[in-house]
Structure 1
Amino acid sequence: MKLTATAMNAQAFADSAAELLTQGGDARIILDPETGLNQYFSQPRPSDAIAYASSTANDISAPAFDHGCRRIAEIAPDLTLSPDGYAEALERLRHRIRASYNLAEDVEIVFSPSGTDLEYVGLALAKEKAPGGIRNILLGADEVGSGCIYSARGQYFAKQTARDIAVAPGEPVGGRIPEKIELTNVPVRDDLGAAWRPESVAEEVDRQVIEAKAEDRHTVVHVVHGSKTGLVLPSLEHIDALAAKHGGAVSFIVDACQARITTQAIHDYLARGCTVLLTGSKFMGGPPFSGFALVPRAAVEAAALMPIAFCKIFRRGEWPDNWPDVDLLPRESNLGLLLRLEASVFELERFQALSIERVERVVLAFHAAVRKAMVERLGGRRIAPYAPGERAEGDAHPIEMRTLSTIDISHMPGQPDFDEAKRIHRALVDHGVRLGQPVKCVRLPDGRWGGTLRVGLSMPQVTAFDALDDAALEAQFERDMTTVADALEKVISA
């Protein structure tokens, strides 16, 4: 017999909600039975850890968890939801997202189990635009999700889909997704970790598009807006130039999956016909994993038929009603994904209610505290999220570039390389500290990847810290960063 929310006590219902947060995705959110953590060392309930890990994955905040429990109790008191109820709940989320970003009704929204799955949306939009197939250009493959090198090729990236269907990583999705998908990586940093200038990146993209046109391929360019290290490439001016030169031979997908992006930037991209990909599990502060794509209605109306293979990945309610042949998708519900989305949009709404001035106050205090602890005290090197000499870019993009610091730790004692940084990252968890995962962005003299760690702020942290006055805010960040630095010294010297 199923229990309703009224028959359960509050703790039992909260336990059920926490379990739901680990369902309806892939193996990345399944908990280790020994630790109670997922593979990113986060848990599906509020935590007391000192966590600045929003570049990788978050623990759900207490307010968001409470909101999620209330929402699930309202629409699925017995922890089941009909397909129609699922579609209705997602439509409500669409309205809330549009309101949060002040988007017009003609912006369609596709929901996804993760940012990696969002890559399939771009392929669905481009799959029949040229007889020779697709050239998919990633800017800095190491600066985006690791599974994207599979999904951007039209391949499965995990051993199971969000519909719990067994697949093999690297196996083609097939079913109206063309086999002719060529993935090209355009590097965005040199071996020392310095970002290439935007014009250099744009020149290489232009060369790639010209080459693809000669092969009758359509080019999909992945714009990065807030990469794993905070880069924004190429610029709007370069996007405009590429579009003017190549017309319908090129389309743009904006990888803003870190969600470190302003409302104005989203509007600028959508006005140019770009599709914008975001996730709720990074800066937005929701639990892993959820995502959504903002797609101009004109792009949806021009799309070819829904790929049949998407039946293994997506559910009907997750796609707009006007997507061609959308009804082939199975009418099911995914209560776990819905709960994760509810938490993420809840955090988005709270953050968007703050003025940019109040947000910048918190962000700059965070940025100063990280520099003091990680650079001045420990001797780490901050990997700049802009090209040398372009510090003004950081000032112009505080959300993208000041809420996340990538710290090169390869010059600290023991000269940690990338593999050692992964050990350090894991060991910090035992000291009550969670940071963002290491990222490959700097080379050692012998060619190995150097060790890095990432320190990231999240929307729920900004919302909470906004309540502090300047002195209390500075003191809070100093306490937190001192704890982080103390733990890092212990782990590195162990």
Structure 2
Amino acid sequence: MNRPSDRSDVRDRIDISDEQLLEALTGGGDERTELDPITGHNRYFINPANGLDVFNRGSCTAGMLNGRSRVVAREFLGRYDTLNYASLVEEQSFRLKNLLSSAHNDPFDVFFGPSGTDLAYLPTLFQRLLHPDRPIIQVMSCPEELGSGSRDVAAAKLFGRKNQFGRPLDQGAPIDPTASEPTVVELDARDADGNILDRRGQIVRLIEDNPTAAIIGSLVFGSKSGIKDDLDVIEDHGDHVMWVVDLCQLRVDPALLHDLLDRGAMVMLTGSKFFQTPPFCGALLVPRQLTERLRTADDTNGASVAPFGQIFSAHDVPWALDNVRQHLPDEENRGLRLRWQIALDEMESYASWPFHVSNALIADWKTELLRIVDEHPNFRLMPDQRKTNDSIISTQVLADGRELSHEELRTLYRDVVTGEHEGLSDGARRVFFGQPVRYGDRSFIRFAIGAPTVRWMLHRGSLFLDDDKRLIEIVAEYAERFR
């Protein structure tokens, strides 16, 4: 399950009903946060307010409240109406900077967004502000292992049916019909056999061949299966080239984050993957030198910025960028602030352990679980496990030696996640794991350890894999139904 935590036994005295809590958790996002009125589940087949009886090995944006985060959520909602929204945003930005800053790295600024997918619009906005007369080329690494709306966002199209303010959007339409759409170049993550590809040479050649374009190099470090791009490609190719690294899984040491920011790259992160906050809450870290360039960009009539008011609020943008904020709606988002409050609490709790200690436990977990999965007849590990993050294991699922297809895995995932199961510890009756990822005509699932479980095992003083083993057996039992 999300595992016991140091606040799970705090008695809740805040007068917030379950209905109010759920409304706030699912508000201020897009249709992905909506619950089916019949099942009470979102698109990941879970209810974000109901995770106390779930053994969680998910790697996607589908966190649920555990004992600790439930208390944090109720306390926050109980005092929300007394807070100044602008000050709250500043406070959360400060907490995030305090967690992620180093005495040695240059300052950075925080842009918020309702999801990691929404954050990916910002580099396009920045290039339109800084280079309004240049065509934009968006280099998109590992597209098949990013969020479902990533391709639309890369092309500056509206990926969802509604925005964070609850207003409808024309899904698939250009965010600004008067502007030229970016040219999107996709670089696959894996070959047909599942081997991880090297994309560095392709990116460098594309930059060299397009000296007059405004280029966005969108890299990923920690994709759905934990792929780590070769970040050595990030170099100074001139101010027309902008780098943004997707660290949304946030399964990294702060040292890497500091290095990326110092090299001038923007960093995307969320609190709803490794830290298992209910979806969605995103933040883009922008090096201060880039913020200063944006601050002096001329957009007097709002031609570049105003169309992005369909996606962002003025409160999502740092105070220093008044030239940007003035063209965005002055909208508040209680759900986003609630989810970030939960995420920051978990991040701060996790950071109380030295990273080399938590990383060692994660590595031990992966080593042991890799052995178990590799020896099981219903699983075939994906290639290049050591090239991916230690906290994620990716595997195909077999029935009588045959690979299950993507559609079969989707059915298996739904049936396992929505079912109740015996043999789990501490009263858990349900399980959760990483939903299937398609590559070509094939597919795999993921088992991923999250921050709350790592903290629980550290407090315990040792690994505990009994429930991991039971999860593997449950998936295998369901796989055999496809014989």
Distance 1:252 1:225, change over 3 A: same
Q: How does 1:200-211 map to 2 (within 5 A)?
A: 201-211=199-209
Q: Which residue of 2 aligns with 1:397?
A: none
Aligned length: 448
* 1:219-256 deviation per Cα after TM superposition (whole angstroms, max 9, x unaligned): 110121111111111233x323xx2xx32232100111
Question: How does 1:273-352 map onto structure 2 within 5 Å?
Answer: 273-303=264-294, 304=297, 305=299, 307-323=305-321, 324-352=323-351
Q: Which residue in 1 is equivalent to 2:423?
A: none
CA contact (8 A) 1:175 1:308 kept: no
Match of 2:47 among 39, 43, 46: 43
Distance 1:181 1:350, change over 3 A: same
Query: Which residue in 2 is equivalent to 1:4?
Result: none
AA paired with 2:19? D
- Alpha-carbon displacement from aligned partner over 1:183-216 (angstroms, at most 9, x marks no partner): 110123211111123xxx1110112112332xx3
Structure 1: how far apart are the matches of 2:27 and 2:132? 38
Cα separation, 1, equivalents of 2:139 and 2:226? 19
Structure 2 matches for 1:217-236, cutoff 5 A? 217-236=213-232
Q: Distance in 2 between matches of 1:251 and 1:385?
A: 29
Matched residues in 1 for 2:356 and 2:263: separation? Answer: 27
SS across alignment from 1:409 = strand
Shift of 1:55: 3.0
CA RMSD of aligned residues (A): 2.2
Measured against aligned partners, the alpha-carbon deviations of 1:434-474 in whole angstroms (never above 9, x if no partner) come to: 11111123x5xxxxx2231111111122122211122xx2x
The match for 1:252 among 232, 243, 246 is: 243
Mapped pair 1:466 → 2:458? yes
Q: Is the 8 A contact 1:433 1:484 kept in 2?
A: yes
Q: CA deviation at 1:47?
A: 2.8
CA–CA distance in structure 2, aligned partners of residues 351 and 206 of structure 1: 37
* Secondary structure in 1 matching 2:279: coil
Residue 477 of structure 2 corresponds to 490
1:196 to 1:13, Cα distance in 2 relative to 1, 3 A:
same
Give distance in 2, aligned partners of 1:250 and 1:410.
Answer: 44
Between 322-331 and 8-17, the greater mean CA deviation after superposition: 8-17
- Indicate whether 1:452 and 2:444 are aligned: yes
Alpha-carbon offset, residue 58 of structure 1: 1.4
TM-score by length of 1: 0.86
SS in 2 for 1:288: coil
Equivalences for 1:103-118 in 2 at 5 Å? 103=102, 106-118=107-119
Aligned to 2:234: 239
Q: Once the two structures are aligned, what percentage of the paired residues are identical?
A: 25
Q: Is the 8 A contact 1:162 1:313 kept in 2?
A: yes
- 2:123 maps to 122
Amino acid corresponding to residue 30 of structure 2 in structure 1: D
| Equivalent residues in 2 for 1:379-418, closer than 5 Å | 379-385=378-384, 391=386, 394=387, 401-410=389-398, 413-418=401-406
Separation in 2 of the partners of 1:181 and 1:284?
Answer: 33
Selected match of 1:419 from 386, 402, 407: 407
Distance 2:326 2:400 in 1: 56
- Is the Cα–Cα contact under 8 Å of residues 15 and 78 in structure 2 kept in the other structure? no
Residue in 1 that maps onto 2:4: none
SS at match of 1:57: coil
- Give the one of 59, 65, 72 matched to 1:60: 65
- Structure holding more helix per residue: 1
Structure 2 residue identity aligned to 1:257: C
- Maintained 8 Å contact 1:414/1:492: no
Mapped contact 2:16–2:77 kept (Cα < 8 A): no
Please state whether the residue corresponding to 2:370 is helix, strand or coil. helix
C-alpha deviation, 1:327, in angstroms: 1.9
Partners of 2:26 and 2:61 in 1: how far apart? 16
Contact 1:218/1:250 (CA < 8 Å) preserved in 2? yes
1:133 matched to 2:135? The reply is yes
In structure 2, what is the Cα distance between the partners aligned to 1:138 and 1:377? 35
CA distance in 1, matches of 2:138, 2:131: 13
Most deviating of 38-47 and 220-229 = 38-47
Q: Distance in 2 between matches of 1:462 and 1:56?
A: 18
2: CA distance, partners of 1:134 / 1:462? 42
Q: CA deviation at 1:10?
A: 4.3
Residues 490 and 119 of structure 1, relative CA distance in 2, 3 Å threshold = same
In the alignment, residue 122 of structure 2 is paired with which amino acid? V
Contact 1:125 1:300 in 2 (8 A): no
Q: Residue by residue, what CA displacement relative to the aligned partner does 1:90-146 show, whole Å, maximum 9, x if unpaired?
A: 110111111111257831101100011001111122124263321000111101112
Which amino acid is the alignment partner of residue 226 of structure 2? G
**Distance (whole Å) between structure 2 residues aligned to residue 488 and residue 436 of structure 1:** 12
The C-alpha deviation readout for 1:256-308, integer Å capped at 9, x for no partner, is: 11112221111101001111000111112211111000001221221244610
Gaps of 5+ in 2: 1-11, 421-429
Give the residue type in structure 1 aligned to 2:311: I
Secondary structure in 1 matching 2:280: coil
Contact 1:32 1:38 in 2 (8 A): yes
Query: Aligned AA for 1:41?
Result: F
Is 1:148 the counterpart of 2:150 in the alignment?
yes
Q: Distance in 1 between matches of 2:416 and 2:67?
A: 23
Equivalent residue letter for 1:345: L
Instruction: Judge which range, 56-65 or 270-279, deviates more.
Output: 56-65
Deviation digits for residues 400-444 of structure 1 (CA, Å, limit 9, x no counterpart): 611011112257644211111111111111142211111123x5x
- Contact 2:377–2:398 (CA<8 Å) still a contact in 1? no
When normalised by structure 2's length, the TM-score is: 0.87
Q: 1:314 to 1:51 in 2, by over 3 A?
A: same
- How far, CA to CA, are the matches of 1:119 and 1:10 in structure 2? 37
Which residue is 1:270 aligned to? 261
Question: What letter corresponds to residue 377 of structure 1 in structure 2?
Answer: H
Q: Which amino acid aligns with 2:187?
A: V
Inter-partner Cα distance in structure 2 for 1:410 and 1:27: 33
CA contact 1:100–1:349 (8 Å) conserved in 2: yes
AA matched with 2:154: A
Cα 1:170–1:385 change in 2 (3 A) is: farther
* C-alpha separation in 1, matches of 2:186 and 2:80: 44
